Structure 1
Amino acid sequence: MRHRGLAVSCAKRRSRCRSLADRRRDLGRGSTAPIGCRQAGRLVQTTRRGGGNARMTHGMSGAETAAGMTRRGFLTVGALGVSLGAVGAGWGPWPGAAVGAARADETAPLRFAVFTDTHANLEETARLENLARVFAAVEAEDPDFVLHCGDITDAGRESDFETYRSLIPAALWDRIRHVPGNHEIRWDITARERYERWFGPTSYSFDVGGVHFIALDPTQALQEPGLFSDDLAWIRDDLAAAGDAPTIMFLHFPLGDRNFYVNDADEFLRTIDPFPVRGIFAGHIHRNEITRFNGLTQVAAISSRLGPFYLRVTERRDATGRVLVVEQVTLGATDADPVVVDPLAEVPLDVAPGEDLGELDPKANSVRDALEVTARPGAAAVRAEAQVYPQGLFGTANAGAWTALEPRGRSWHGTLDAAALAAGTHRVQVRAFDESGAARYETATFERHPARSHAGDWEISVGGQLQGALAEAGGTVVAGSTSGRVVGVRADEPGRPRPAWTADLGPVHRGAAFSTDGRTVYVPSADHTLTALDARDGHVRWSVDLGRPVMSTPAVFDLGGADRIVVTAGNRLHNLDATGAILWRSEVPIQSAGRPACDGQRIYAGGGDGRGHAYDVATGAHLWSILTNTRVDTYRQLIYGPWDDWTQVLPTGAVLFSTVTDAIAVAPATGAELWRLAGGYLLAPGLVLDESNLLLATEWGLVELVDPATGAKRWSSQAVPRLVNTGPVRDERTGALWLVGTGGLVVRLDAASGAVTVVRQLFTANTFSRPVIVGDTLVVAAQDGVLRGIRI
């Protein structure tokens, strides 16, 4: 790949811009490295940085960068530039150095391989042997390059990456281009730093043999599903720069059809629609699945973890144009057994499947308990269908409940049952098929009974994703964004509130916490800092570097009349005083991303080793730990453990640790188990109502009132389809409980009986943020970067 000198803007909040050599030396310490290049005068690579939420675009002017801010954190990019000349083969110390380089014969047909979902894990010897055979076979084919569609490892641990790297033949390493899967990012509290140190950028593009390739990364730190969000602007600009070159994309999550793994896949399809995107390679579902929609062919590939499989892709040129022929290669049970090659799919590069379907232009009108849908596909349409977008689905596949539309002249019409829909904002999906089976998908939004909104409702656009729990004290609500923007809103003032102040820090993934007097708010950031802001005006009181991304919610306790702030950063538990001085630090095995608890004598935190831990509050000395699950390997102990738990001290003095399978109450002095309640309580923090009532909720939207002394259930109600890092809150005026599901459904529960009242579908984004109530207003934050207040 050819390179020319370019300017790289780099900045870390409140730190000076360092030289390229300094940043490269920092790679071994988890720092983010600058990367990128332009080829033939256009952008071909960008990277995410700043704790996994910044995308640095190299070669852009300051004005271009400001105009192109994304959810990956252009807000954190400073104006100071560092000159970057040609650097060796071009990609830095990562794999893929030969990808995009000039081939011996540029006119030769393309030959490349695809594998996905290798799930490297040091403890799975048999599967590692399988992967080694796959890699050796791919090397023997001598492809131009290899695409890896993510889930490289089981959990993105250092040992997993080391294991994966040890299996790759040296001659193949420089030809592999990777994208992360949810397994790299879901449990990664380094905020992508570890991934980038091993593999470089997570989103980028390159050109080979007259074809434009784009690596996409919609993964979200600490979360399961995907989201493109502001990255769509970069994708659009990159495609525009590629001109008429046919484009192939690769990412982890399959899109379209029955796939609901990325919440804004509809926006993604609208973004790429004007451009010649002809194919997508994906993984995640561990099986082959071929779909043709919106002018492209998508190949979701079988997992190489499951057996000796990979895909071989070769270019064929004939009278119809260029076509990528995709075959599945299955190695024999031993090296002496024959290799089986099965045809899988063809991806036309010069023809768009179903292009005569045209644009559907869907319209939806809510009338009483019905939804009237109209679409106008092209004359090639032989079938058209519609469904209400299943907003309650989250990171999964679903065949849907489609209703046939009937043609009337040039348009197609149908009526959907809307009786069960809450008032508020929804989406409708429409799809049409031609005779070949190629499809086109389009989505439109509609309002059901919009008159039910209240005059006191309000919205404030913050940008990025509002991912952490909201914090509130004295009527001031604080929300932090992955863009680095933090806002303080006086939600108790009459009228439509505005931010009382804003502060720009590093990317914020988890909630802030107020001091006990409400005058200071402590904000965790992926740029390794914990920052204390004045709650009145947002100015910085102090900021301390904790050495690692701070991807947990701080807990603040009054100990002897003085505040103590306890927070985890990676695998370190820190205890700070109100001035930011670190009183002690202790280790939490593997990692911790939840919120600690304290009873005045001990501090409790969930670890990535599957255990709940207790520490001496004065010294940080480790006192005891309890194993919360009986999984036999470290990966499953992590994912089935309390690594993301908001640990709680119950009114009885017992300590509650929660996992995806159980809530476990233990004795504070010894960790002895007192009671255990089966259920996935990890991702929905509990709420103590009074001395005798504890409210728990599962990630599947089941809310339960239990006795904190015994764990006995008083009532259980199915409230919403899904809860992730959010949970119920109580209106102190009325005693009513309020809950916002991950998909934006707002419900009210009666605390005495558990009776559920559906109130509103608030948005079509997702929320991973626990709301707050200020006066008569429920304040909710969402992944679309909007802070909302609704009158209750």
Structure 2
Amino acid sequence: MGAIGIGLGLTGAEWGPWPGAAVGAARADDTAPLRFAVFTDTHANLEETAMLANLTRVFAAVEAENPDFVLHCGDITDAGRESDFETYRSLIPAPLWDRIRHVPGNHEIRWDITARERYQRWFGPTSYSFDAGGVHFVALDPTQALQEPGLFSDDLAWIRDDLAAAGDTPSIMFLHYPLGDRNFFVNDADEFLRTIDPFPVRGIFAGHIHRNEVDRFNGLTQVAAVTSRQDPFYLRVTERRDASGRAFVVELITLGATDADPVAIDLLAEIPLDSATGEGIGELRPKVRSNRDVVDVTAGRARAAVRAEAQVYPQGVFGAANAGDWTPLGTRGGSWHGELDAAALAAGVHRVQVRAFDESGSFRYETATFERKSGHTSPGPWEVEIGGQLQGALAAAGDTVVAVSTSGTVAAVRIGHGRKPRTSWTAQLGPIHRGAAFSTDARTVYVPSADHTLTALGADDGRRRWRTDLARPVMSTPAVFDIGGEDRIVVAAGDRLHCLDAAGGTVWTSEVPGMAAGRATSDGFRVFMGGGDGRGHAYDLATGAHLWSILTNDRVDTYRQLIYGPWDDWTQVLPTGAVLFSTVTDAIATDPATGAELWRLAGGYLLAPGRVLDESNLLLATEWGVVELVDPATGAKRWSSQAVPRLVNTGPVPHAKSASVWLVGAGGLVVSVDAASGAVTSERQLFTANTFSQPVIVGDTFVVGAQDGVLRGIRI
């Protein structure tokens, strides 16, 4: 999270050796109106020469404007690689470098196996603030390591304190993702809006969607800007002062086809600084009540509001924009009122979105939570608060589940039969983004951490047994193999694949080109791992010698080979002995000795770990929530069912007693699937956070970790 950047404790006056050192410094005439530029989504990539030429023109034009400073709203590079940052830096005119302040986009963090270390070395902190010309500017970083969408989480406390310290000074924020209303790129955006609501936040600049979009809601004006990657665009922002007060005038600047052609200037938006947009709409404070198949919605009605509408929050929409299906609300006394259809909703927790508009089109947007009751009499779900974000896969042995958190917490939770779960021990390590693994005898837990270490903890008491420094952030899930009665732990750290013995000593180290964030597997002779070079790799288990690799896609440049490759794959050895590599486009079965392709199945299987059920049945799932039963010998499908809207780093978990398979969608919907027929049953909307954590089944309890830091269990 951005708290890593905040922890550096840097302000505008202490910016240090990174770009932006001149931002916020006293100007020759500090009473003059502010002038600054904004660009976003530059996506620097050494291999895309035409786009680099376009960026060179944009940066030269911005330099010629001589702005007080420049805001970059993220996706600076294509993949956050060292070569990408070097390329971007080489394009910036020297006089402009000290006036640019950056925030990361998902492209800096999604494939960055350094856990932000590379970004911070180039650009400094990821969340920070500075003052210029009587305006408070706040850089926000809701990006999540190795993930596409965003989450503010612990940064919300810093944001509140920072705005409180700024007092009555109007604030402008900039980040990568646009927020609010139809934008579902940040899961806790609603909580963010509640956090900033008491303060004079007047505007937000964002990127990500690669188009110009202006929204006026909750007292602010949000401007999402078009990408500067392919065409010569940027935003010019000029302060205007007149009788109505101060305002920022935002213009879209489009350079001509050549430097000799005229520049087009189009007014995009105006951001009032001394007053809130739509302030007469008032607070809505929606109240929601579930009544069988209907949800009753009531919200406050202010004089300036001319219409209002509501919808059930589309929990299945993940990291995307969605116009929604809104229902108009009627008036009843001093309130808005209406009913929403809830017949298709699973039992459990849901949200309702309400928005009210004034004559100008400005609107107020708020949400409320409600629970749809279940007709079942079985015990409801239990919860254990862990903290941070439970992003790594859960690990289970016997009746114990080990959950790990981005806050560095490792918690062992005992799942009792008919009793509430209890935490038997906790340990505190560095930030953890991937799951822990038990030793083959279940007496030791191996935990990877972004602080460059792999740590062995006693499974019974959580005490440290050893800790090995692997020189890079350990951002993959360890795999543990029994080799002749001795454990071998194989784990990737950056672009290195390490094999350790049970005492933490290095058996061998080999290269995984680019990086690896998935999990290795072994057939007892070889180790298989997906890499950031678009290839699946095989290594000798005894020595680490590289045996072969297979290119999984036909992309022609290294960036696309990365993103369309098996970089985050949990590789599998099939009952036939073949090894399965998965990508966002295919599952590919290969010969374990040679890497020769045996069969290929089209589908986005990378982000949903599959499961071998028995010698004749392989269960696969796509990131789009489709579960399939496949013949492991041929790849032929036996059945295919749409189970949930999305799956991200979570896959199906079989329950032997009921012959069913359980899984949880990225939006918290739990379903069961009949393993014989593929019939899907919605069990419960368990939470409204996102989940990127592989669940487990312990006895008759399905256990799930989520990005809100809570471990939950539901009886099967």
2:491 is equivalent to residue 567 of structure 1 = yes
Question: C-alpha displacement at 1:451, in angstroms?
Answer: 6.3
- d(CA) in 2 for partners of 1:506, 1:328: 44
Which amino acid letter does the alignment assign opposite residue 196 of structure 2? I
Tell me the TM-score normalised to structure 2 length.
Answer: 0.99
What is aligned with 1:117?
41
2:714 partner SS: strand
What is aligned with 2:275?
351
What is aligned with 1:56?
7
Which amino acid letter does the alignment assign opposite residue 461 of structure 1? E
- d(CA) in 2 for partners of 1:488, 1:140: 59
What is aligned with 2:228?
304
Question: C-alpha displacement at 1:103, in angstroms?
Answer: 0.8
Matching residue within 403, 409, 413 for 2:333: 409
1:171 partner SS: helix
Tell me the TM-score normalised to structure 1 length.
Answer: 0.89
2:311 is equivalent to residue 360 of structure 1 = no
2:329 is equivalent to residue 378 of structure 1 = no
Matching residue within 458, 468, 482 for 2:382: 458
Question: C-alpha displacement at 1:397, in angstroms?
Answer: 0.5
1:763 partner SS: coil
2:7 partner SS: strand
Which amino acid letter does the alignment assign opposite residue 332 of structure 1? G
1:137-156 alignment runs, 5 A limit: 137-156=61-80
Matching residue within 726, 732, 739 for 2:656: 732
For structure 1, which segment, 578-587 or 253-262, has the greater mean C-alpha deviation from structure 2 after superposition? 253-262
Matching residue within 90, 95, 110 for 1:186: 110
Matching residue within 210, 214, 227 for 1:286: 210
1:441 partner SS: strand
Contact 1:115–1:310 (CA<8 Å) still a contact in 2?
Answer: yes
Contact 1:257–1:291 (CA<8 Å) still a contact in 2?
Answer: no
Matching residue within 649, 652, 664 for 2:588: 664
What is aligned with 1:80?
none
2:120 is equivalent to residue 169 of structure 1 = no
Q: 5+ residue gaps in structure 1?
A: 1-45, 60-85
Contact 2:612–2:618 (CA<8 Å) still a contact in 1?
Answer: yes
1:28-67 alignment runs, 5 A limit: 48-49=3-4, 55-56=6-7, 58=9
Matching residue within 548, 552, 555 for 1:631: 555
Deviations 1:169-208 (A, max 9, x none): 1100000000000000111111000000000000000000
Contact 1:382–1:435 (CA<8 Å) still a contact in 2?
Answer: yes
1:250-289 alignment runs, 5 A limit: 250-289=174-213
Deviations 1:317-346 (A, max 9, x none): 011100000001111111111111111110
2:89 partner SS: helix
For structure 1, which segment, 726-735 or 154-163, has the greater mean C-alpha deviation from structure 2 after superposition? 726-735
Which amino acid letter does the alignment assign opposite residue 769 of structure 1? S
1:381-392 alignment runs, 5 A limit: 381-392=305-316
RMSD: 1.3
Contact 2:6–2:126 (CA<8 Å) still a contact in 1?
Answer: no
- d(CA) in 1 for partners of 2:442, 2:587: 31
- d(CA) in 2 for partners of 1:332, 1:453: 68
- d(CA) in 2 for partners of 1:283, 1:372: 36
1:428-577 alignment runs, 5 A limit: 428-449=352-373, 452=376, 454-455=378-379, 457-492=381-416, 494-577=418-501
1:315-354 alignment runs, 5 A limit: 315-354=239-278
2:375 is equivalent to residue 427 of structure 1 = no
Question: C-alpha displacement at 1:220, in angstroms?
Answer: 0.3
Deviations 1:81-129 (A, max 9, x none): xxxxx99x63121100001111111111000000000000000001101
Which amino acid letter does the alignment assign opposite residue 477 of structure 1? V
Question: C-alpha displacement at 1:750, in angstroms?
Answer: 0.5
1:612-761 alignment runs, 5 A limit: 612-761=536-685
- d(CA) in 1 for partners of 2:100, 2:169: 22
Question: C-alpha displacement at 1:261, in angstroms?
Answer: 0.6
Which amino acid letter does the alignment assign opposite residue 614 of structure 1? A
* Equivalences, count: 716
- d(CA) in 2 for partners of 1:393, 1:645: 23
Question: C-alpha displacement at 1:730, in angstroms?
Answer: 1.0
Deviations 1:26-75 (A, max 9, x none): xxxxxxxxxxxxxxxxxxxx9743xxxx741639xxxxxxxxxxxxxxxx
Contact 1:476–1:492 (CA<8 Å) still a contact in 2?
Answer: no
Deviations 1:140-195 (A, max 9, x none): 11100000000000000000000000000110000000000000011111100000
- d(CA) in 2 for partners of 1:714, 1:734: 20
- d(CA) in 2 for partners of 1:194, 1:435: 48
Any runs of at least 4 consecutive aligned residues in structure 1 with deviations exceeding 4 A, and if so which?
450-453
Contact 2:353–2:367 (CA<8 Å) still a contact in 1?
Answer: yes
1:162 partner SS: helix
- d(CA) in 1 for partners of 2:195, 2:202: 14
Contact 1:454–1:790 (CA<8 Å) still a contact in 2?
Answer: no
Contact 1:117–1:305 (CA<8 Å) still a contact in 2?
Answer: yes
Q: 1:141 to 1:597 in 2, by over 3 A?
A: same
Q: 5+ residue gaps in structure 2?
A: none
Q: 1:546 to 1:605 in 2, by over 3 A?
A: same
- d(CA) in 1 for partners of 2:526, 2:567: 18
- d(CA) in 2 for partners of 1:293, 1:393: 21
Which amino acid letter does the alignment assign opposite residue 320 of structure 1? S
Question: C-alpha displacement at 1:733, in angstroms?
Answer: 2.1
Question: C-alpha displacement at 1:496, in angstroms?
Answer: 1.2
What is aligned with 2:525?
601
Question: C-alpha displacement at 1:454, in angstroms?
Answer: 3.9
Which amino acid letter does the alignment assign opposite residue 385 of structure 1? E
- d(CA) in 1 for partners of 2:621, 2:21: 48
- d(CA) in 1 for partners of 2:29, 2:710: 51
Task: Report the identity percentage.
Answer: 80
Question: C-alpha displacement at 1:455, in angstroms?
Answer: 2.8
2:54 is equivalent to residue 130 of structure 1 = yes
Contact 2:3–2:154 (CA<8 Å) still a contact in 1?
Answer: no
1:714 partner SS: strand
1:194 partner SS: helix
Q: 1:47 to 1:649 in 2, by over 3 A?
A: closer
Contact 1:456–1:496 (CA<8 Å) still a contact in 2?
Answer: no
Which amino acid letter does the alignment assign opposite residue 369 of structure 2? T
Q: 1:679 to 1:480 in 2, by over 3 A?
A: same
- d(CA) in 2 for partners of 1:271, 1:780: 28
Deviations 1:755-774 (A, max 9, x none): 00001000000000111111
